[in-house]
Structure 1
Amino acid sequence: MKALTLIIRFIFTFFLIVICIPDANAQVFKKLKKKAEKAAERTVERRVEKESSKKTDQVLDSILEPGKKGKTPTDKDGNPIPGGQNPNNTGRGNDNSNTTGEGGPKTIQIYSKFDYVPGDKLLFFDDFDNDFVGDFPSKWNTNGSGEVVTINDSPQKWLKILPGHSTYYIPDVPSLPEEYTIEFDILATGLDRQTSSTATLQVELSANNTFKAGDAYAYALIPFCQYSPIGVRVRNYDRQGGGSEINNVVNADLRQTVLNQPHVSIAVNKQRFRMWINERKYVDIPRMIPAGNKITALKFHLNTFKDGKENLFISNLKVAEGGLDLRRTLIADGRVSTNGILFDSGSANIQPQSMGIIRQISQVLQQERDMNLNIIGHTDADGNDAANMDLSKSRANAVKDALVNVYNIDAARLSTDGKGESEPVGDNTTTDGKAQNRRVEFVKQ
């Protein structure tokens, strides 16, 4: 704008001179006038072009790289921090924050309509707590390489998996039943606008636990590309059933979501396959899984990540049998126990992805108007007895508060109690046993 002001002043002064000069010199100043006007036009054009270019770049950035504002934050080694998050705060301890931006930590209220319900019989759990940093985890197998790591100052352990044309990562999950659920956390670093459109995590359900695809499988590809919304590719194959019936891309924009440590939830009910990322359901296919109880194994495969620049980590893998409908059990038996309500470590903060179970309990109470419930919390044996007793009571109260404040259940219909570590159902010396013992019971009164 300063340049335009100077041009206007120049033109105004020029015309005053022209008016005051005798006619003998008028022709000379007419030529000067034309030159000045052309110079002014060129300056204005350049200014407009510059402003237009800036606006165009902003529009393109908003399309190709939504949410970008200024320089991407980096960690102490100069690597991009996913989603601009604090490099010293990469754990899931902020799940109950008030942030509600796309891909960021979500509140319980955001998850209030989340309808995923985890299985109630634990088959496998691994947070790598018993593995040494730098080792490949003891409860997994691979034909490639990988290691347990921590990120910056967080104590959370992750399995770093590497890309490879035929590299698989296979957890030691027992043979999968007909009805089961899968959950895990993802952390991706080093992603930018150059990340490939084929950079994906393949979550595969297979007829064998070898490093080959096998005669039957179904998989979903979670995309990490940043310059375009690639969508989730889904595919199945059954050699005996005639090959592949499903090979499609489900439209989804996960660019921001994958930058902010998403939680993946999968439910398999016979042939039906559903997948949620954070609180949103992206895939629901009625006949995705090959028929005939052929699928027995879970595998992970990483596609076209740039080695040394783009990294992918997995943690908190949980596989459980069931996942159907806790409502029928509660109505029929008058009690139900679940380890699917998760809390932040050592606290009573409910992790929002657990809200599917609490939602089902609220639906029972809304239907059965005369039913009252006692909510009982249980912990594992880590820590001292008194602290665990207090923690179990606080967790039961947190579940009650969610039923009252989120689903409008009358508080007078709910009582709470805590048993601490006094009533274990699993072995407190193992990771799986501890996960079974961290549970919440609902008992009809």
Structure 2
Amino acid sequence: MSKNKKTALLAFVIFSSCASYAQIRINDPGRVVERQAENRANRKVDQAVDKGFDKVEEGIGNLFKKKEKKPKEETAGKTQKESQPVESSNENNTSQTNSVDPTNEESTGGKTGKPSLKSYSKFDFIPGEKIVAVEDFSQDAVGDFPSKWNTNSSGEIVTIEGTEGKWLLLGPSGVFYPEFVSKLPENFTFEFNLATTSGFSYYSGFLRTIFAQVTNAGKDFVSWQWYDGNKFKGLEVGLHPKDAGGVQGMSAFNVFAETPGQSMMKNEKSFPAFHVPEHNVVKVSIWRQKTRLRLYVDDYKVWDLPRAFNPETSYNFIGFSTHTYHDEADKYFVSNLRLAVGAPDTRSKLITEGKFSTTGILFDVNSANIKPESYGVLKEIASVLTENAAVRVQIIGHTDADGDDAANLTLSKKRSESVKEALFKDFGIVKTRLETDGKGEGVPAAPNTTAEGKASNRRVEFVKI
């Protein structure tokens, strides 16, 4: 069997496996017969495939490729580029990046290179002060449903070619929630990476991120359906891939909330035409400040609603909900979830207390390259320094304890230098006001025994001198 045929056959096996989750609601009797015929044919093909393969390779990279490939002569000479890996929590010296599947210009709209810090110049998101939950599924085996989650549907841990770490594949018509989230204060941020399969159908439903007040999550959501949002106290943010036919990106957004705010917030917004993320992967950032909701997708601010959250609701639940997928190949995936609480007060802590520490300045894996989504935090620090022209600070980098001690120390010093350079180059803070140092893993802020502790230790401190 040729390599191409084997790859296609493996992809079909994976598609068939994913499709087995579907719970299709059919109203047309004629469609019932058609569906039964399809299922019978699929079962026969699956049986034949199973005889030839005892083990299917991990990963679902083929789901992210175009359904119809153009002939080689049509794509010859097109520029290729590397995908940017998604960062996992184990990020100092032990992370490994999966093999990269280059993306051609057709699927990226001609966009090349990774986003720069300046490309996020309107990104004012600042993560919460204290990390309380991190989920990268590193403790879960591929093929399993994550041990710290619950659902009334189905799902499994997978890998995606060209991205870092593991993802949770979300099955149809259900709710998926981490059982370790039990309280949400009036100030918090929630971030996650979201991916979809290419060719995602326009008719497949929104992915909804739920913030709610529940008494018993397992009981309240056991028979939950996508249209039941008005049956509980909460708020939903809906996201959907851009257009039909495989165009990448997230474009349709809805916010559904408790009355009286519900009707006010039912509308849609779209990405600018030039925004085409790679691999159908976007970064979603949600920021609550009392009643205010801010929603960002990558660097694009979708919503800034001053009265979205109900101050009378005691939110204690975060989850995701899906509708039945219109096409069985359609899937949503989530990864790298991060919940932080508290409203950071950069000005007071740096000027009055003399020290400000942040986990909001992020770096590429094993690198001192600053991720562009760090722009909001850097801008806030630069504003404080601009307003207080006599203040000088020392920038101190810290890492978690993964990897070699000496390498972590070197990395932390390089990262503090990168922050200094960014403050000078992008915000005009003169270098004579900035000193740098790095402590590696030597001064932990939390135990390095949990994902949350490690994330808290990967930080940058600013100390007034």
Asked if these proteins are the same fold (TM beyond 0.5), I'd say yes
**Which residue of 206, 211, 219 maps to 2:236?**
219
1:340 corresponds in structure 2 to 360
Matches within 5 A, 1:250-399: 250-253=268-271, 257=276, 260-306=280-326, 308-399=328-419
2:54 corresponds in structure 1 to none
Q: Given residue 233 of structure 1, which amino acid in structure 2 is its aligned partner? A: N
TM-score (norm 1): 0.74
Report the Cα distance in structure 2 between the residues aligned to 1:123 and 1:257, rounded to whole angstroms.
32
Would you say the 8 A contact 1:113–1:359 is kept in 2?
no
Change (3 A) 1:246 1:430: same
1:233 corresponds in structure 2 to 254
Residues 1:432 and 2:452 aligned together: yes
2:210 corresponds in structure 1 to 204
Report the Cα distance in structure 2 between the residues aligned to 1:326 and 1:81, rounded to whole angstroms.
48
Q: Alpha-carbon deviations, 1:207-259, whole Å to 9, x = none?
A: 12441555311111112142499631111115xxx684544113224785466
Q: Given residue 249 of structure 1, which amino acid in structure 2 is its aligned partner? A: N
Q: Cα distance, 1:328 vs. partner?
A: 2.9
**Which residue of 128, 131, 134 maps to 2:137?**
128
Would you say the 8 A contact 1:100–1:107 is kept in 2?
no
2:184 corresponds in structure 1 to 176
Q: Given residue 206 of structure 2, which amino acid in structure 1 is its aligned partner? A: T
1:49 corresponds in structure 2 to none
Q: Given residue 177 of structure 2, which amino acid in structure 1 is its aligned partner? A: Y
Q: Cα distance, 1:133 vs. partner?
A: 1.2
Would you say the 8 A contact 1:339–1:440 is kept in 2?
yes
1:399 partner SS: helix
1:249 partner SS: coil
Q: Cα distance, 1:307 vs. partner?
A: 5.3
Change (3 A) 1:180 1:215: same
Q: Alpha-carbon deviations, 1:262-303, whole Å to 9, x = none?
A: 111110011110001111111011110112242221111123
Change (3 A) 1:262 1:81: farther
Change (3 A) 1:85 1:392: farther
Change (3 A) 1:102 1:278: farther
Report the Cα distance in structure 2 between the residues aligned to 1:114 and 1:247, rounded to whole angstroms.
22
Report the Cα distance in structure 2 between the residues aligned to 1:129 and 1:247, rounded to whole angstroms.
36
Report the Cα distance in structure 2 between the residues aligned to 1:119 and 1:89, rounded to whole angstroms.
28
**Which residue of 442, 447, 453 maps to 1:422?**
442
Q: Cα distance, 1:326 vs. partner?
A: 2.0
Change (3 A) 1:272 1:357: same
Residues 1:109 and 2:118 aligned together: yes
Change (3 A) 1:178 1:348: same
* Worse-matched range after superposition: 302-311 or 143-152: 302-311
The number of residues matched between the two structures is 361
**Which residue of 137, 148, 162 maps to 2:157?**
148
Would you say the 8 A contact 1:79–1:190 is kept in 2?
yes
Report the Cα distance in structure 2 between the residues aligned to 1:173 and 1:102, rounded to whole angstroms.
38
Q: Alpha-carbon deviations, 1:312-365, whole Å to 9, x = none?
A: 211110000024442232222111111111111211111111111111000001
Residue identity (%): 37
Residues 1:162 and 2:171 aligned together: yes
Q: Cα distance, 1:81 vs. partner?
A: 8.3
1:80 corresponds in structure 2 to 66
Q: Alpha-carbon deviations, 1:366-416, whole Å to 9, x = none?
A: 100000110001000001110000011111111111101111110110001
Q: Alpha-carbon deviations, 1:35-76, whole Å to 9, x = none?
A: xxxxxxxxxxxxxxxxxxxxxxxxxxxxxxxxxxxxxxx965
Report the Cα distance in structure 2 between the residues aligned to 1:171 and 1:265, rounded to whole angstroms.
20
Change (3 A) 1:183 1:305: same
TM-score (norm 2): 0.71
2:378 partner SS: helix
Aligned residues: CA RMSD: 3.1
Report the Cα distance in structure 2 between the residues aligned to 1:85 and 1:290, rounded to whole angstroms.
49
1:362 partner SS: helix
